[in-house]
Amino acid sequence: MLDEHPEEPGRPGGDERHEDPEEPVLEDAGGAPALRLAPPLRPRAPKASRRSLRPRRHLGLRARVTTAFALGALVLSGALASITYFSVRNSVVNQQEVSLRQEALGSAVLLSGRLQHPVPDYDQLLASVDPAGGSQSFLYKQNDWFLSSPTLLPDVLPRALRAAVFDGRPAEQIIDLGGTPHLVVGVPVKSAKSEYFEVFDLGNISRTLHVLLVSLILAAVVTTLGGAVLGSWGASRALRPLHEAAQAALAIAGGRLDTRLESEDYADLAVLTSAFNRMADRLQERIEREVRFTSDVNHELRSPLTTLAASLSVLEGRRDELPERSQRALDLLGAEVRRFRRLVDDLLEISRLDAGLGEVSRDEVALGSLVQHSVEATGIHVLVDIDEEDASRRLVIDKVRFERIVANLLENARHYAGGATRVAVSVAGAVARFSVEDRGPGIPAAERDRIFDRFSRGSSAKRRGAGEGTGLGLAIVSEHARALGGKVWVEQNGGRGARFVVELPIRTAEHEDSPA
C-alpha cells in the first residue's frame, strides 16, 4: 500500500508511516469508545461476545437483503400466477367455447331434421333439443321468434351476430348479461330457412376462474412473505460472522486486547477471520510494547532525577556561597529540574493509568473536608463554594486521585487562564459536581474534546504559561475522573472564560467494604 505513490512523499494521507508515539492508535475523544489499554491479565475471550448491539449500517444491509428476497419472490410468484391464470383461463374458456359451439351445432342439425316435417309447437320443439339446461335456444323462422324458455328475449342477441347469421354465416360472441358472461352461438339452418341461436351461461366457469384468481393472488402474497422471511433468516445467518467481527472489534477498541475470532464455524470466511486475528495480534503487540516502553523510560528517568533533586538541594543550600553569575545559573537549573520532575511525575502518572496499574483506594471522607484539603494542598488561594449540607456529606472515594484532579485543574487555570476565580461543589442525587471557573480566554466549542488529549494545548494558550504546564494536566484529570467512575468536561463560563466540571458518582460506606 505504501509503495503506491512513490513520487509523492508529501501527499497528505498518502504515506501513513508517520506515527505520533504519544497517541495510542484508536483514540477518539469524540464519544466513540476510546482505546482503553487494559493489561493482558484478563482471561482470553474465545468468542466475540454476543451482546445484542446492532450498528445501524448492519441493519440496513439485512433489510436490503430481505427486501430483495421479498421482491424476487413477488415477481416470480406474480409471474407464475399470471401465467397460470391466463393460460388456464384461455384453455378452459376455449375448451368451453368449442364444446358449446359443438353443442349448438348439434342442436341446429337436430333442428334442421325436425323442421323438415310440420311442427305443431315450436316452443316445445326447442325445449326438446335443449340437452342439459343452462342455455336457452332461440329460433327465427319466417319473421317469428321461438324461445325455449321465456327467460331471455331475442333482443339480447347482438345485432352484428344476428346480421352475420342472417347472411348465412355461423357466428359466436360473448356477451355480458346481468354481470355474468354468456356465450351466444348463432347457426343458420339453411334447409329450414331459419336461424338458430343458443345462449350459454358461462357463470360457473367465470366463478371458477375467479376463485382460481383469488387463490393465485393469495399464493403470490404468501410466497412473497415467505421470501421475505427466508431472506431475513438467510441474511442474518450470512451476516452473523460480520456481526461477530463487529463485536470483536468493539471489544478490542474497549480495551480487551485479547479478543480474537474463532475460525471453526465459518470456513468461507477464513480469510476475514485470520486477517482480523492477525491485525488484532499486531495491535496488541504494538500497544503493549508502547506501554512497556513508556513505563521503562519513565522508570529509568527516576534515578537520575533523584540524584538531580538531591544535588540541587545541596547547591541551593549553599547559594549564598556562590558568586552572582553562579547563583543565576543555579536558579535556572533549579527551575528546570523541578519542571522536568513535574513532567516525569505526570508521565508516570499517565503511564500507570494507561497500563491499568493504578489502584483505586477507598477512603471514607467528608466531601467538604476533602475539597478543602485538596485546594489547600495546591497552595492556590481560591474561594470554595459549597453548602453545609453537601459539605458534611460522607462518601467513599480515592482521596489522592481526587486531589490530583483538583490540583491539575487549578494548575491548568493558573497556567492558561490567569488563575481560577471560583471553585464550586454541589451534590445532586447520586453524583457530586466539582467545578473550577476562570475568566481566561475560554475554550472554543470545537476544541472542548481535544484539550483533554495528551500534549494538546488550546489555540488560545500561545505564549502565556507555555513554559509552565506539562501539557498532560487535563489528560490526567480525565483519566482519574474515569477511574473514579465519573467524567469531566468544559463549558463556557457565562460571558467569558471556561468552567471545568467534574462529575463523580457518590459511593457511600454502606456499599463499600471497610479497609483491613
Partner 1 sequence: MLIPPCEKIGAMASRILLVEDDERIRTSMRLSLEDEGYEVEEAESGEDALEAHARALVAQPFDLLVVDIMLPGMDGFDCCRELRKVSTVPIIMVTARTDTHDVVAGLEAGADDYVTKPFEPKELAARIRALLRRARTTDGGPVSLTFGDLEIMPEAGVVKRDGEEVHLTRTEFLLLCELAANTGKVLSREQLLERVWSYDYFGDGRLVDVHVRRLRTKVERDPSDPRHVLTVRGLGYKLAP
Interface residues toward partner 1, by CB under 8 A? 299, 301-311, 313-314, 317, 341, 344-345, 348, 352, 357-359, 361, 363-365, 369, 373, 377, 396, 399-400, 403, 509, 512, 514-516
Nearer to partner 1, 171 or 395 (CB): 395
Contact 504, 397 (CB under 8 A): yes
Q: How far is the CB of 389 from partner 1 (least distance, A)?
A: 20
Complex with partner 1: residue 447 or 512, whichever CB lies closer: 512
Smallest distance from partner 1 to CB 468, Å: 18
Cell digits for 41? 491479565
Bridge partners of 194, per DSSP, are 141, 189
Adjacency order of strands within the sheet including 384-385: 384-385, 420-428, 431-438, 498-505, 487-492
Phi, psi for 210 (deg, rounded to 5): -60, -45
Longest CA span, the chain: 164
Closer Cβ to partner 1, 58 or 352, answer by number: 352
Strand partners for 424: 385, 435
Cβ neighbors of 409 (< 8 A, separation 6 or more) are 420, 436, 473, 477, 500, 502
Q: Are 497 and 488 in contact (CB under 8 A)?
A: no
Closest approach, Cβ 293 to partner 1, in A, equals 16
Q: Cell digits for 410?
A: 487549578
Q: How far is the CB of 514 from partner 1 (least distance, A)?
A: 4
Residue 10 or 317 with smaller CB distance to partner 1: 317
Residue 81: strand, helix, or coil: helix
Q: Are 251 and 259 in contact (CB under 8 A)?
A: yes
Q: Tell me how far CA of residue 462 lies from CA of 22, 168, 412, 437, 474, in angstroms.
A: 21, 112, 14, 20, 17
> Of the two residues 215 and 392, which places its CB atom closer to partner 1 in the complex?
392
CA dist., res. 303 & res. 333, Å (int): 18
Among residues 14 and 39, whose Cβ is nearest to partner 1? 39
Handedness of CA 322, 323, 326, 327 (dihedral sign): positive
For cell 472515594, the residue is: 397
C-beta closer to partner 1: residue 169 or 302? 302
Comparing CB distances to partner 1, the nearer of 198 and 403 is: 403
The three-state (H, E, C) secondary structure of 40-76, written as one string:
CCCCCCCCCCCCCCCCHHHHHHHHHHHHHHHHHHHHH
CB of 352 to partner 1, least distance (A): 7
The answer to whether 380 and 408 are in contact (CB under 8 A) is no
442/448 Cα distance (integer angstroms): 10
| Shortest distance (Å) from residue 306 CB to partner 1 | 5
Closest CB 382 distance from partner 1, rounded Å: 18
| Closest distance to partner 1 from the beta carbon of 372 (Å) | 9
CB of 410 to partner 1, least distance (A): 15
Cβ distance to partner 1 smaller for residue 115 or 395: 395
CB of 484 to partner 1, least distance (A): 16
The smaller minimum CB distance to partner 1, of residues 290 and 398, is found at 398
End-to-end Cα distance, the chain: 57
Least Cβ distance, residue 422 to partner 1 (angstroms): 22
CA distance linking residue 176 with residue 502, whole number of Å: 85
Strand partners for 425: 434
Residues 55, 32: Cα–Cα separation, whole Å: 13
Q: Which is nearer to partner 1, 265 or 300 (CB)?
A: 300
